[in-house]
Structure 1
Amino acid sequence: MRQTQIFSGSSHPALVDGICNRLGMKAGKAELRKFANGETSVQIQTSIRDQDVFIVQSGSEKINDMLMELLIMISACKGGSAKSVTAVMPYFPYSRQSKKKQHRGAITARMVANLLDVAGVNHVITIDLHASQMQGFFKCPVDNLIAEPLIARWIRNNVPNWREAVIVSKNPGGTKRVTSLADALKLSFGIVTTDRRRTPTSVHWGEDSLNMYQPMGMDGSYETASTAEAPMDEDVDADVTPITSLTNPKPDVEKEKPKLRARAVSNPLHRRSVNGSTEKTSSPLSKSTRVDSISEADAPKPLQRSMTAPNSDQGDEADDEYTDERARDVIHGRLIQGHIVDDSHPSPALSAVSSVQHRSTQPPSDDCEPIPDHMMSSFISNASSLRRRETSGHALGGTYDAAASSEEEEQDLKNPEYETMVTLVGNVKGKPVIILDDMIDKSGSWIAAAETVVKRGGATKVYCMATHGLFGGDCLEEMANCDCIDKIVVTDTFPISDVKKAEARDKLVVMNVENLLAEAIRRNHHGESISQLFMHID
């Protein structure tokens, strides 16, 4: 290409060589060095006057040095009278810090965009931003390319029986990316969610809380008996025993009073269409979701109006028409230190509580004095308030963010004191599973999702696929040692050292994006449309 220069930063020179080979040109000469005190020095050794300059600099392990080097190169090219300067950043640094996750936090991605604008950049080309809304941070045009066509092509060519595969998101935040690939390949998709706040020891009821939910008698007093669930059947209408009759026996005359029939909840989502017709199926969960009724004589006036059905015939139709068949695709599991455990495995939280209770019930020894009652009640109240804050929200009020950051999720999975509940939504039994996200940095959530779909869902193979393979710490080695993961597929937007590639053995697959970036550079130089780079071509 005429009147064009491509310069390489020190982050990913192999990628720049591939781009230049694709375009049939050589990379421009630039001297990059550091002073003794760590300062970066850039000297452009090629004439760039009135030329289109493309600087290829991706994120790497030395992310701050690479970013500063890019800013200095942009400023040097603008000072050399370049016609335009385009920053080609396959992995955009600080892209995960695109919003405030805590009070007094910084939106670092916006600050990086402002630094690029101050340095004099005219255009930015990147691949799979962590949040597509980040394009609004820039004052110049941004081409956010996607690696989805490359991933889809690899799936078609390398995954046996790929038409039966299921695309799974390892957290709720990646559902949009997963559904996009599933729609392109016409496949089913699923979601894996984790939540440590739903452990069995998270909810503690006091006497006051229990009294709030107990039924009120006719004389204004609260009943102390628990509600008994009546056995129900879908085909035979069963009579429901009133709650008050369990605690206050009435004469035989009370038995002649009419009783209300339990009615199933009418929800159109419970319908399931199979081959164009509505199919009636039964589920064990549909029998346990009924609500006990109260007789008209014993229930208070407002309660009679809220629970009386307007038409009993509609209740019969609802019993036959609506089911909970979709609930079969929801599978729960227990995670301790990021690994699936059996239901019989002791919970770390339960073990801690039981040990405290055991010590408190032991008779005091001769060496130590027993704890006074007022101090013990103070300890219990403080522990209860702390547990309520952990389960309801943070100390400043409000609730936790529904889309928790991956860093917090990884910390919870690695913490031995927490038991995490994992939920798999989707049918993956006997099918290959493709777990998809935009980047792989830590291994905890990936291993947890892989073990969930294999050990709980019954998946045959698991492919972990992402655009950016950051592989921080021992992430790649831990994922390679996981028996539930068959392949780890990433692109070369982020440089991976040979040492880390050796740790992955034969499980790591690296796809090249040099053709995608080279075509984007060529089309930008000639003023052509890049919309075809987003299309799926078989």
Structure 2
Amino acid sequence: MPTVVEPKLIAGNSNLPLASSIARRMSMHRGMTVDLVNARVERFNDGEIFVEVFENVRGEDMFIIQSTSNPANDNLMELLIIADALRRSSAQRVTAVIPYFGYARQDRRTKARTPISAKLVANMLVEAGIARVLTMDLHAAQIQGFFDIPVDNLYASPIFALDIKNQFRDSMSDLMVVSPDVGGVARARELAKRIDAPLAIVDKRREKPGEVADMTVIGEVAGKKCIIVDDMVDTAGTLCKAADLLTSSGATEVHAYISHGVLSGPAVERVSKSVMKSLVITDSIAATDAVKACENIRILPTAPMFAQATLNIWNGTSVSSLFETDTLEPIYEGFFKG
């Protein structure tokens, strides 16, 4: 068996800027150049995806960087086909680095005769030859149990905590962390503990999917700077309504920290017109031009965290150490200072 000298990265087309950033960060940590493997991932005229790897990967520890974001099906197929190409090229191990795990919202049967698509995707990834998955802020933590391979689920909350302590360093005592629904309380509580802030909840009731019938604030938010925390923002309708409710309940400012900025349909326009002073997302999903141009949307980098996690997997050290703010702060090398 050939000796694995360096980790090798290969990227699909879903988020090439993030893949390049991860490679640069790994180069800094390693003190030597870590490039993306030379390959082509393209489509035939009928939409079929074709992959060709131009470098020898026999016996190598391969990491595929690919979010399964919009277009979810195309990006998922790219991931599966890249994995198959690497397996057939005798790669020693294939790890899928999936910053945003698509289909995660379909993690259970909500009514009769519906699928559990997240489980189906897990089965497909394993069958394609993927030996390990690295992702961030799964919509439901139990999705890790859908896999019979190791799954490392990173958290954006330590990055958010660093940014909040920088952005609100003169008014930390005025902060109130808000969960936009009862199901997200654990996520919000985690961030609240990190920044030593109280917690409130927006209780929402839906008459049908995608439409909120009624919302109520549980907790005293008057005079507070509210920070809404969630794992993803899609059309931003519920988020903007929650911001309106908090403002009408006496909040002086409303900000949102959301791990994955899906931001589909009218989302960017809604955010730009919202009472929210800022929406902070990560770069787990490649930002569109509209997102980049929106004045009250900020994007935090995840490349330092994913680069370190990839190196930790490669050299067999702890990934869970990256759950701690104290561990991430030096990795971000003063990004949030001043």
TM (norm. structure 1) is 0.58
1:467 correspondence with 2:267: no
Higher gyration radius (CA): 1
User: Is the CA contact 2:7–2:311 (under 8 Å) kept in the aligned structure 1?
Assistant: no
1:20 correspondence with 2:20: no
Residue type at the aligned position of 2:210: E
Between the aligned partners of 1:107 and 1:2, the Cα distance in structure 2 is 39
Query: How many residues in Structure 1 have an aligned counterpart in Structure 2?
Result: 317
Between the aligned partners of 1:460 and 1:75, the Cα distance in structure 2 is 53
Task: Give the deviation of 1:182 after TM superposition.
Answer: 1.0
After superposing on structure 2, the runs of 4+ consecutive aligned residues of structure 1 that deviate more than 4 Å are none
1:176 correspondence with 2:196: no
Residue type at the aligned position of 2:296: K
Between the aligned partners of 1:167 and 1:6, the Cα distance in structure 2 is 37
Tell me, which stretches of 5 or more residues in structure 1 are unaligned?
Answer: 198-407, 414-419
User: Is the CA contact 1:3–1:50 (under 8 Å) kept in the aligned structure 2?
Assistant: no
- For 1:315-348, what per-residue CA distance to the aligned partner results, in whole angstroms no more than 9, with x for missing partners? xxxxxxxxxxxxxxxxxxxxxxxxxxxxxxxxxx
Task: Give the deviation of 1:464 after TM superposition.
Answer: 1.1
Between the aligned partners of 1:453 and 1:99, the Cα distance in structure 2 is 31
Residues 389-538 of structure 1 aligned to structure 2 (within 5 Å): 408=208, 410-411=210-211, 413=212, 420-455=213-248, 457-482=249-274, 484-502=275-293, 504=294, 506-537=295-326
Choose the corresponding residue for 1:69, options 69, 78, 103: 78
Between the aligned partners of 2:181 and 2:210, the Cα distance in structure 1 is 12
Task: Give the deviation of 1:196 after TM superposition.
Answer: 6.1
Residues 309-458 of structure 1 aligned to structure 2 (within 5 Å): 408=208, 410-411=210-211, 413=212, 420-455=213-248, 457-458=249-250
User: Is the CA contact 2:271–2:296 (under 8 Å) kept in the aligned structure 1?
Assistant: no
Distance 1:107 1:529, change over 3 A: same
Distance 1:196 1:13, change over 3 A: closer
User: Is the CA contact 2:291–2:297 (under 8 Å) kept in the aligned structure 1?
Assistant: no
Between the aligned partners of 1:531 and 1:501, the Cα distance in structure 2 is 31
Structure with more strand by fraction: 2
User: Is the CA contact 2:180–2:203 (under 8 Å) kept in the aligned structure 1?
Assistant: yes
Tell me, which stretches of 5 or more residues in structure 2 are unaligned?
Answer: 28-33, 330-338
Residue type at the aligned position of 1:529: S
- For 1:423-471, what per-residue CA distance to the aligned partner results, in whole angstroms no more than 9, with x for missing partners? 111111111000110000022211111111111x211110011100000
1:3 correspondence with 2:13: no
Aligned twin of 2:39: 30
Aligned twin of 1:209: none
SS in 2 for 1:466: strand
Task: Give the deviation of 1:102 after TM superposition.
Answer: 1.6
Aligned twin of 1:42: 51
Aligned twin of 2:101: 92
Task: Give the deviation of 1:409 after TM superposition.
Answer: 5.0
- For 1:95-126, what per-residue CA distance to the aligned partner results, in whole angstroms no more than 9, with x for missing partners? 00000112100000000000011101111000
Between the aligned partners of 1:39 and 1:196, the Cα distance in structure 2 is 39
Task: Give the deviation of 1:11 after TM superposition.
Answer: 0.5
User: Is the CA contact 2:65–2:98 (under 8 Å) kept in the aligned structure 1?
Assistant: yes
Task: Give the deviation of 1:59 after TM superposition.
Answer: 2.3
Between the aligned partners of 1:531 and 1:115, the Cα distance in structure 2 is 26
- For 1:280-317, what per-residue CA distance to the aligned partner results, in whole angstroms no more than 9, with x for missing partners? xxxxxxxxxxxxxxxxxxxxxxxxxxxxxxxxxxxxxx
Task: Give the deviation of 1:89 after TM superposition.
Answer: 0.2
- For 1:122-166, what per-residue CA distance to the aligned partner results, in whole angstroms no more than 9, with x for missing partners? 110000000001101001100001111000111100125123211
SS in 1 for 2:210: helix
Aligned twin of 2:196: 186
Task: Give the deviation of 1:184 after TM superposition.
Answer: 1.8
RMSD of Structure 2 on Structure 1 (CA) = 1.4
User: Is the CA contact 1:170–1:192 (under 8 Å) kept in the aligned structure 2?
Assistant: yes
Residues 197-346 of structure 1 aligned to structure 2 (within 5 Å): none
SS in 2 for 1:468: strand
1:127 correspondence with 2:136: yes
Between the aligned partners of 1:134 and 1:446, the Cα distance in structure 2 is 24
Between the aligned partners of 2:214 and 2:134, the Cα distance in structure 1 is 40
SS in 1 for 2:114: coil
Choose the corresponding residue for 1:105, options 114, 135, 149: 114
User: Is the CA contact 1:29–1:45 (under 8 Å) kept in the aligned structure 2?
Assistant: yes
User: Is the CA contact 1:48–1:77 (under 8 Å) kept in the aligned structure 2?
Assistant: yes
Residue type at the aligned position of 1:136: G
